[in-house]
Structure 1
């Protein structure tokens, strides 16, 4: 497990998505080729490995497949409950790692409202046209 993606980030396989993100942010600042004191070739190689590890561990499906590949089972691990008082204000506003795991934005709610109004308008127009033609509305 010394060359695993978890080892690259310095984490245990039971790490939460927030811990993975924090470790990636800290290490990316340290190993970015433009900001590090390391040789450019070494810094680029480390930064690429870091990006590859984060790319796999930040997506739940890819992470589950990777865990199977390295033989780690998440079902036998009991994680300590998270203390709600330890939330970091900077991380709490961007803790959604997966686009499907977030609340709807105001623009999305507005688009859904417009879509609903359009549907109701089309149904109303269809009933109006049927009524004007003298056809039965419900058969």
Structure 2
């Protein structure tokens, strides 16, 4: 059982909320909400349950309504405020910068962003050529303009 799920011994402060319907704590992730919704929707779907049809429809409707609110970040934050839960008081684990996406492939980089790195010698040479071309074109244009005006 996940750490965000309610344990049977803990008090269920949010038992009568959408979170209680999924048996989750309000600090749970969207993935945990989706997982709980899928499990419970299989359990309460009118076509697959052993419950009476009206009770199954009612439970399935409640599940869909709760999932619609909790799956959307904006409506979830509004709902959290309505039930008196604040995410500001939840301690978040800091991001671990030592684990980069590139390390999954075995590549290590001292830079956090791929665009934040020094230019290679080939890139510096290309920039030098572009700068030389621009300066050469400007000098050529100025020379041609000066020769045409002096010929008049």
Identify whether the pair has TM-score above 0.5, normalized to the shorter chain.
yes
- TM band (smaller chain): 0.5 to 0.7
Q: Normalized against structure 1, the TM-score is what?
A: 0.56
1:79–1:27 distance in 2 versus 1, CA, 3 Å: farther
User: What CA distance in whole angstroms lies between the structure 2 residues aligned with 1:60 and 1:69?
Assistant: 14
**Could you say which structure has the greater relative contact order, defined with CA pairs below 8 angstroms and 6 or more residues apart?**
1
1:75 to 67, 88, 100: 88
Q: How does 1:50-89 map to 2 (within 5 A)?
A: 50-79=63-92
The gaps in structure 2 that reach 5 residues or longer are 1-13, 95-152
**How many residues align structurally?**
82
Runs of 4+ that moved beyond 3 A: none
Establish whether residue 39 from structure 1 lines up as the match of residue 52 from structure 2. Answer: yes
The gaps in structure 1 that reach 5 residues or longer are 82-139
Please state how far the C-alpha of 1:40 moved relative to its aligned partner.
Answer: 0.4
- Partner deviation per Cα, 1:76-135 (whole Å, 9 max, x = no partner): 112568xxxxxxxxxxxxxxxxxxxxxxxxxxxxxxxxxxxxxxxxxxxxxxxxxxxxxx
User: What CA distance in whole angstroms lies between the structure 2 residues aligned with 1:52 and 1:17?
Assistant: 15
1:11 to 24, 33, 44: 24
User: What CA distance in whole angstroms lies between the structure 1 residues aligned with 2:46 and 2:73?
Assistant: 28
User: What's 1:104 paired with?
Assistant: none
The answer as to whether partners of 2:15 and 2:23 remain within 8 angstroms in 1 is no
1:67–1:40 distance in 2 versus 1, CA, 3 Å: same
Q: CA RMSD in A?
A: 1.7
User: What CA distance in whole angstroms lies between the structure 1 residues aligned with 2:92 and 2:51?
Assistant: 36
Q: Normalized against structure 2, the TM-score is what?
A: 0.51
